[in-house]
């Protein structure tokens, strides 16, 4: 029997059937309950608490004071008296160099000093003789000057006597001439028999007497002239004596200066010999190597018989740590973190030798000089930070590598978000645009509420439980300690839940599991 439906309509029927099946499948997938197992999410609460932000760095342990003991003299090592880890005191003998050469130099310097002392004594004697000669010459000059003064007086006196004698000669000659005229006149009168012969004889006698007086005055004048010449000669001799005495005095003074210079030179040589002797004795003392501080020998670089050569620099023989119970960490902090480090901050650090132990200290110095970028492989500028490291049990040793955590910032009673919540991302999250509209709608309800201003922070996202699935929350976070972060701003309060992770992520990867809430 043939069908009532034309064969040309059968394809449309099949097409309608396929469309109905697809629609039913879409409704089933979108609205029907899933028989697949639901994915479980782990959540945590937002809580109030304290948080500490740390700056991480690495460094090396070292003694606060490490003294390098060297040698300033050269020579073979005769004896080494300490070893590694030896406890030493200030002034304790560490090693002894062969002193033979230094003792010989001391003897040589002592002999030179004796020669210098003898030369100084000779120069001192010469100086004394020169000073005595000066005293004698000064006396001679004084005597010669006095004699010259007397001779000058004698010349002046002789000249005065000569002048008087010359006047007497002139007077005697005038009297003689007058007596001659008188005698001649009486002779003429006697020839004319006007006067008696006795009167004529009397005038002749008077003439002869005046002539004798004239001759006597003339002889006296000549004698005084001779006396003046003698006095002048004596004055000239006295002048010559003064010049000679003064010249000798100048020569004696020059001898004193020369003797003084010789003595000064001898004294300078003595000081030079004394310095040489002192240096030789110091070198002899330096042949005994002593500890400059109390401490522990942490390095020894010489053996008996080894020759120490000290030329331009002192060779390193020992290293002494002053006090290993008080050490320090020299840490390198990057330029990005150095602004958060300051004096007095608390520090914890660990060392590989005791991984389970945490050691404590404080920042004692933040250095401003950067470490050159060429000195580290990553070409990062770092700054040196010194951290105290108490070591009462002597567990820490110089050179150990320390992993340092500096407590850069401490906050108390703040909201804390687990860092896992900041990294959580749910599968098949809701549409961001729809979430944004929903949040804006909720914010509009609270627009009249006062809002406390918050600090600046970095943006973050967390997911909180809500009807229909996880709901996104945009927040600002601040300080982090690696496990928790400070909540600076966001629509969260203490006690609110935030998702942290999916309990079975492997199952989510193996199967296309639909998320059920």
Residue 353 has a pLDDT of 94
Structure tokens at 153: 């007086």
- From-to residues of CATH 2.40.50.100 in the chain: 66-98+291-322
Question: What does residue 181 show for φ and ψ, rounded to 5 degrees?
Answer: -60, -40
Structure tokens at 283: 């070198």
Residue 192 has a pLDDT of 86
What is the DSSP secondary structure assignment for residue 375, as one 8-state letter? G
Place of tokens 């928790």: 484
Half-sphere exposure of 337 (CA within 13 A, CB side): 21
**What CATH architecture does domain 66-98+291-322 belong to?**
Beta Barrel (2.40)
Can you give the pTM of this predicted structure?
0.54
- From-to residues of CATH 1.10.287 in the chain: 105-286
pLDDT by position in tens, the chain (length 517): 334 444 445 566 667 766 776 666 655 545 444 444 455 677 777 788 888 888 889 999 999 988 999 888 889 999 999 999 899 999 999 999 999 888 998 999 999 889 889 988 888 888 888 888 888 888 888 888 888 888 888 888 888 888 888 888 888 889 888 988 988 888 888 888 888 888 888 988 988 888 888 888 888 888 888 888 888 888 888 889 888 888 888 888 888 888 889 889 988 989 998 999 999 999 899 899 999 999 999 899 989 988 888 877 778 899 999 889 999 999 999 998 898 899 999 999 999 999 999 999 999 999 998 876 444 456 778 999 999 999 999 999 999 999 999 988 888 888 888 888 888 887 766 556 655 665 565 555 455 444 554 567 788 888 888 877 788 888 888 878 778 888 888 888 888 888 888 876 544 444 343 444 3
Beta strand pairing status for 346-351 and 75-80? unpaired
Pairwise CA distance, residues 280 & 332, whole Å? 47
Cβ-based neighbour number of residue 54 at 10 Å:
22
Pairwise CA distance, residues 103 & 73, whole Å? 13
Residue 424 has a pLDDT of 83
Alpha-carbon distance values, 257 to 125, 133, 153, 264, 278 (Å): 13, 13, 37, 10, 31
Pairwise CA distance, residues 84 & 297, whole Å? 5
In CATH, the number for domain 105-286 is: 1.10.287
Question: What does residue 269 show for φ and ψ, rounded to 5 degrees?
Answer: -65, -35
Pairwise CA distance, residues 425 & 42, whole Å? 12
- CA 99 distance to own-chain centroid: 34
Residue 400 has a pLDDT of 94
Residue 514 has a pLDDT of 40
Residue 443 has a pLDDT of 57
């Amino acid at each position: 029997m043939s069908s009532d439906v034309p064969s040309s309509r059968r394809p449309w029927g099949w097409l309608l059937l396929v469309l109905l099946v697809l629609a039913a499948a879409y409704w089933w997938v979108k609205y029907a309950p899933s028989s697949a197992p639901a994915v479980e999410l782990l959540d945590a609460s937002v809580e109030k608490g304290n948080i500490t932000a740390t700056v991480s760095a690495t460094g090396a342990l070292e003694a606060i004071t490490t003294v390098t003991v060297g040698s300033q003299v050269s020579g073979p090592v005769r004896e080494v008296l300490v070893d590694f880890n030896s406890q030493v005191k200030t002034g304790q003998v560490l090693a002894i160099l062969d002193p033979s050469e230094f003792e010989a130099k001391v003897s040589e310097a002592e002999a030179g000093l004796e020669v210098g002392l003898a030369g100084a004594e000779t120069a001192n004697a010469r100086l004394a003789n020169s000073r005595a000669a000066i005293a004698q010459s000064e006396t001679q000059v004084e005597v010669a000057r006095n004699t010259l003064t007397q001779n000058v007086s004698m010349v002046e006196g002789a000249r005065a006597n000569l002048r008087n004698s010359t006047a007497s000669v002139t007077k005697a000659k005038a009297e003689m001439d007058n007596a001659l005229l008188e005698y001649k006149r009486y002779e003429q009168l006697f020839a004319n028999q006007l006067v008696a012969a006795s009167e004529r004889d009397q005038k002749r006698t008077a003439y002869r007497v005046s002539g004798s007086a004239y001759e006597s005055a003339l002889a006296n004048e000549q004698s005084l002239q001779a006396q003046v010449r003698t006095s002048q000669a004596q004055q000239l001799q006295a002048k010559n004596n003064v010049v000679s005495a003064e010249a000798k005095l100048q020569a004696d003074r020059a001898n004193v200066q020369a003797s003084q210079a010789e003595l000064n030179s001898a004294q300078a040589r003595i000081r030079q010999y004394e310095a040489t002797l002192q240096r030789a004795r110091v070198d002899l003392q330096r042949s005994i190597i002593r500890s400059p501080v109390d401490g522990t020998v942490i390095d020894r670089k010489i053996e008996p018989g080894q020759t120490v050569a000290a030329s331009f620099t002192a060779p390193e023989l020992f290293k002494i740590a002053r006090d290993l119970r008080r050490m320090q960490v020299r840490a390198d902090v990057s330029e990005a973190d150095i602004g958060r480090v300051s004096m007095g901050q608390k520090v914890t650090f660990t060392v590989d030798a005791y991984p389970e132990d945490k050691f404590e200290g404080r920042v004692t110095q933040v250095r401003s000089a950067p470490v050159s970028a060429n000195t580290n492989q990553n070409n990062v500028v770092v700054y040196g930070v010194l951290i105290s490291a108490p070591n009462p049990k002597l567990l820490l040793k110089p050179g150990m590598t320390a992993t340092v955590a500096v407590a850069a910032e401490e906050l108390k009673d703040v909201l804390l978000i687990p860092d896992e919540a900041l990294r959580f991302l749910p599968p098949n999250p809701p549409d961001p645009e729809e979430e944004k509209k929903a949040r804006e709608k909720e914010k509009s309800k609270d627009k009249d509420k006062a809002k406390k201003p918050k600090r600046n922070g970095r943006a973050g996202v967390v997911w909180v439980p809500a009807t229909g699935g996880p709901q996104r929350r945009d927040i600002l976070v601040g300080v982090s300690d690696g496990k928790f972060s400070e909540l600076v701003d966001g629509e969260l309060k203490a006690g609110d839940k935030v998702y942290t992770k999916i309990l079975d992520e492997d199952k989510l990867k193996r199967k296309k599991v639909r998320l059920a809430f």
